[in-house]
Amino acid sequence: MTPVRQNLNFRFTIFEGAINTLDVILFLRMIHAYYGKKVMIIWDRLSTHLSARSFFERENPDWFCFKELPAYCPEWNPVEQCWNKMKNDLMANCVPMSIEHLQEKACEAAKIIDNNPKLLAELFLNAKLTL
C-alpha cells in the first residue's frame, strides 16, 4: 500500500501451514519484483515479520519502508479489515469441498478487494489509519 499517494493494493498469497521467515522473505521478493520500486509495508509485530524486516534492512535496504502497527491493536490493521470483508461478506456462504476449493475462493475474494480501489480505501480507513 502506498498511502501517501493513495495508491492502495492488496497483495495476497497462500502458504501451506504456518508461515516462517523464509516464506515472508519470498513473498516480499515477489512484491519487489511486481512493483520494482520502494514500497511501504504495514504489518503487525509477528516474529517472522520482524526477522524478515531485519533481513531486508540488511540485504536490500532500499526495497521497503516498514511500518509496524502497535502491539495488540488488530482494529488498526488494514489486513484485518480485508480478512473480515473476505470471510464475513465475500465468502460468507462458501462451503469448501477441499483445501484447493477454499484457496480458490479466498483468492477470488482477494481479487474483488484489490480490484475495487474505493472498497480498499474504505477498509484502510476503517482501520483508523489516515491516508
pLDDT in tens, 41-83: 888 888 999 999 999 999 999 999 998 887 777 777 777 888 8
Mean local confidence (pLDDT), 93-105? 90
Buried b (16+ CB within 10 A) or exposed e, 57-86: eeeeeebbebeebeeeeeebbbbbbbbebb
pLDDT at site 12 = 78
Contacts 24+ apart (CB under 8 A), 28-32: 28/52, 28/56, 28/63, 28/64, 31/64, 32/60, 32/63, 32/64
The answer, yes or no, to whether residue 129 has pLDDT greater than 90, is no
The answer, yes or no, to whether residue 4 has pLDDT greater than 90, is no
User: pTM for the complete prediction?
Assistant: 0.73
Residues 74, 20, 114, CA angle at the centre, nearest 5°? 50
The answer, yes or no, to whether residue 1 has pLDDT greater than 60, is no
